[in-house]
Amino acid sequence: MKNTGSKRIWVVAFIVPVVLILIGAGVFFYLSQDEALPKFEITTGVLKEENREHFYDIDVEYPEIKGDSEAVVKINKQVKNFVDKRVADFKSSTLEIEQQPFPDAKSSLVIRFEYGTRVKRGVHPTIYFRFEESPYIAGAAHPNGAVISSNFNLKTGDYLKLSDFFAYQSDFLSTISKLASDDLLKQFDTFKNSQDGLVDWIKAGTAPTADNYNDGSFYVKPEGFTLIFNPYQVAPYVFGEREVTIPWEQLRSYLAGEWAASVVFSKDDNQL
């Protein structure tokens, strides 16, 4: 019996250090697997056009990541396809304009962009592009501006959809809907009594529907998950585009896989 007890002690004494070593190795791998992330440089592509036949000007700037890796090429192609589609849609809307509605009247399309990164050891790094689009059709009261976003996995070049960040059947839409509605009601607190129907407008624009929360209506930042609400979605045009940033910690129980594993992100926004 004494001999058996000694063997058990020896086994425990051997196994425990081995397990601790394996755990330590796993943690080290988790913390270091993104350290090989290459540096990226963002340049600006430009599309300019003046069309006298259909009376429009185009002034578009879009991001290009320098590099020839598979992921970079993949991201650049998707961004260029997006921009080309926006330009094509704008041109289509001007085809019926055969004469200027008034002297010197011109339609125009202006697109500008911002970008930021979220790099956290142990999870795939991401980059977002936030496009500010301002299309104007001659004769209209004002441009029909909008903000559209794109999020990408920097390691694979994959386009990231809204659902990619959340666990399957987690009912995340109801959660972000409630958080967004509460935040916007605070943003508009001083206007709620003077603007008839504003509260109902906010509730409708933040309802948990696919139309309100699509793949181009959010971007991920170190400090949180930012939702975009374009003019007319939650308030009249005069209030412009609104955004709500939900801290990652508030979404922790709804996030999928690697996103749930780490909710504390680096503060190196806009650093590649």
Token pair for 262 = 């780490």
CB 150 within 8 Å of CB 82: yes
> CATH 3.30.565.40 occupies which residues in the chain?
38-160
> CATH 3.90.640.20 occupies which residues in the chain?
162-272
| Distances, alpha carbon 54 to alpha carbons 60, 98, 108, 141, 269, in Å | 18, 6, 11, 19, 41
Q: Could you say which of 3.30.565.40, 2.60.40.1730, 3.40.50.720, 3.30.70.3000 is the CATH number of the domain covering 38-160?
A: 3.30.565.40
Q: Helices marked H in the chain — which ranges?
A: 2-32, 70-94, 172-187, 198-205, 248-251, 257-261
The number of beta carbons lying within 10 Å of the beta carbon of residue 122 is: 14
Q: How far out from the chain centre does Cα 67 lie?
A: 22
Q: How far out from the chain centre does Cα 237 lie?
A: 23
| Distances, alpha carbon 193 to alpha carbons 69, 189, 225, 230, 258, in Å | 54, 8, 29, 22, 43
User: May I ask the CATH architecture of the domain 162-272?
Assistant: Alpha-Beta Complex (3.90)
Per-residue pLDDT of the chain (272 residues; tens, 9 = 90+): 455 555 555 544 555 454 444 444 443 434 344 444 557 799 999 999 999 888 899 999 999 999 989 999 999 999 999 999 999 999 999 887 766 666 778 999 999 999 999 877 667 899 999 999 999 998 888 899 999 999 999 999 999 999 999 998 889 999 999 999 999 999 998 887 667 789 999 999 999 999 999 999 999 998 899 999 999 999 999 999 999 999 999 998 999 887 877 664 444 444 44
CA distance 253 to 248: 10
